[in-house]
Amino acid sequence: MTESLLKPGFGAPVEGSAHAAPVVVAIDGPAGSGKSSVSKATAARLGYGFLDTGAAYRALAWHALEHGVDTSDATAVLEVFGDFDYAISLDTTDRWVRVGTVDVTSAIREPRVTDAVSGVARVASVRHAVNELFRRLVASAALPGVVVEGRDITTVVFPGAAVRILLTAAPEVRAARRSAELTDQDAAKVAAALHKRDAADSTVVDFLTAAEGVEVVDSTHLDFEQTVDAVLSVVENTMGARDGR
């Protein structure tokens, strides 16, 4: 079922290749917390790669919708996952997501896809397979480090990451930020959609409580640059403590 995903283009290790394992900075948090934008900026500042894990589930949701699949039907999702040919860039300046030969970088951000994401993400066997692919992708990256963001990244996907951060903010702040991003949508509708997404995702993972060893960055009263600086401070302090500095 996963052979197409394990091709070198996705990040399966090339036989005979050897390089030091990248440092992993894992960033978790709820929708609207700024995970993606803050993680990407953090990666750029560190000279690391950036992996948006949510893009994989969005791409699968897009793939399912294109095939006319009801994403609330776990069996149907598993069937369509069988030919899910996925690839993603780790470059902070050249971002792209592909399914087969189709560039879906913009399409996976459409509202219809957002509404369908939780349906595909809650299928346990799909999550297991995709999580394993994330690990292979990071392990095979010829980079000093990779900032990986997404749900349950700090606890399930990369529990042994060098740095683990839970990025959060008050619900009303998250809703306001998401509304500012989606200027063509009513603020009340955005807030309702965010609440619905939180409720749906909470059935899959606990994304509001920091596990032991996970540092919390609350951006409720921080602007974007201050949030990036706060995350970088956690990275510096954690790596310094690890290296005995």
Question: What local confidence, expressed as pLDDT, does residue 245 receive?
Answer: 57
Provide the number of structural domains found in the chain. 1
Residue 146 lies in a domain: yes
Is the backbone of residue 166 left (phi > 0), alpha (psi -120 to 50) or beta?
Answer: beta
pLDDT digit string, tens, across residues 19-49: 678 999 999 988 778 889 999 999 999 999 9
Bridge partner list, 102: 99
Tokens standing for residue 172: 């009303």
Question: What local confidence, expressed as pLDDT, does residue 34 receive?
Answer: 85
Return the CATH number at 42: 3.40.50.300
Question: What local confidence, expressed as pLDDT, does residue 194 receive?
Answer: 62
Question: What local confidence, expressed as pLDDT, does residue 165 receive?
Answer: 97
Output DSSP code: residue 157.
Answer: I
Residue 243 lies in a domain: no
Question: What local confidence, expressed as pLDDT, does residue 171 receive?
Answer: 85
Asked if the model's pLDDT at residue 61 lies above 70, the reply is: yes
Residue 171 lies in a domain: yes
- pTM for the complete prediction? 0.79
Residue 15 lies in a domain: no
Rounded percentage of the chain residues whose pLDDT exceeds 70? 77
Ordered DSSP codes for 111-137: HHHHHHHHHHHT-HHHHHHHHHHHHHH
Asked if the model's pLDDT at residue 191 lies above 60, the reply is: no
Residue 18 lies in a domain: no
Residue 241 lies in a domain: no
Q: What is the mean pLDDT of the chain?
A: 84
- Tell me the C-alpha to C-alpha distance, in Å, between residue 71 and each of 16, 43, 63, 200, 219: 39, 32, 10, 13, 33
Per-residue pLDDT band at 134 (split at 50, 70, 90):
very high
Residue 17 lies in a domain: no
Domain containing 44 equals 3-10+23-236
- Rounded Cα distance between 90 and 95, Å, is 7
Residue 242 lies in a domain: no
Work out whether strand 163-168 and strand 215-218 pair parallel, antiparallel, or are unpaired.
Answer: parallel
